[in-house]
Amino acid sequence: MPCTSKTLARLALIGTMMSLVACAPREPTPMQPTDQGRYNHDLAECQAQAASSFSFGNAVTQCMQAKGYHVE
């Protein structure tokens, strides 16, 4: 079966969509079961800290890891 422009366009679209899903930011998840209120407080604190500072990489992820959360 020859590769048509339609087939190539579909493959390019699928590849693009897979790349976007793979690169989507993920919410940090707790390492151990924890109080949801505490987790939300820590997450809000890290988001506020990241918004008020200039940093490279994902400052929220780094902050949550420093608080003991496992971030995938």
Exposure b/e, 1-19, CB count within 10 A at least 16 = b: eeeeeeeeeeeeeeeeeee
Per the CB < 8 A criterion, the answer to whether 43 and 59 are in contact is no
Q: Which residues contact 71 (CB under 8 A, 6 or more apart)?
A: 26, 28, 29, 61, 64, 65
pTM of the model as a whole: 0.51
Predicted confidence (pLDDT) per residue in 4-50, tens digit:
777 777 777 777 776 666 666 666 555 555 688 999 999 999 999 98
